[in-house]
Amino acid sequence: MNIELESMAIEMPDVEGHPNRKSFRGVLTLIDVASDKPPAGARGHRVLLTRAAAEAALPSLLGMALDYAPSLDRHDVRRKVGVITRADIVGRQLELSGYLFAKDFPEIVSEIEANGSARRSSPASQLLGMSYEIADARVADVRASVWALVSVTFTGAAVLRREKAAYRNTWIELEPNVTRTA
């Protein structure tokens, strides 16, 4: 079995016990796999993020915000609850990690703690997932039933319930209380 890995990170200073920094990690999307349902903005089309597009756009994820809507059913780009500091392509998964603003948004930390950290024990019980936000998307063939995204710029990501995400195999969880520098 071949595993491919592409990785990028920004270095954050080590601040022991920072009250507004809680580590998260998860899977943002799948690469070269059609979405389970059409994402917003795709005019009813399922989408497929190509490996080439994901690899080229990986740097655009770093430093971007993680957002959420309190209802966990949509994106809310004005409610920035965290920052993405690492993006990795591992096989067919685009994995993220970063920090939540824990002191500013304790409710999302509690929500992920209650509903997002079950992934290790039972993926089926995982209630929360993630969804990407993009701009400047280029589609290989707009007449195709599944739009192949051949170029994108990531503008952020959102936490939402898995059944609301275009890709149902995404997830998010809190990391143990460790401080990471990149």
Domain ranges within the chain, ordered by starting residue:
20-174
DSSP alpha helix (H) spans, 13-157: 51-61, 106-115
Q: How far apart are CA 92 and CA 31, in angstroms?
A: 5
User: What is the fold of 20-174?
Assistant: Serine Protease, Human Cytomegalovirus Protease; Chain A (3.20.16)
User: What predicted TM-score, i.e. pTM, was given to this entire model?
Assistant: 0.87
Least trusted range by pLDDT, from 20-24, 86-90, 121-125, 175-179: 121-125
d(CA 102, CA 24): 11
Confidence tier at 23 by pLDDT (50, 70, 90):
very high
Dist. CA 154–CA 42, nearest whole Å = 15
Q: How far apart are CA 44 and CA 178, in angstroms?
A: 41
pLDDT in tens, 56-107: 999 999 999 999 999 999 999 999 999 999 999 999 999 999 999 999 999 9
The single-letter DSSP state of residue 27 is: E
* pLDDT greater than 60 at residue 123: no
- In the chain, the amino acid numbered 131 is S
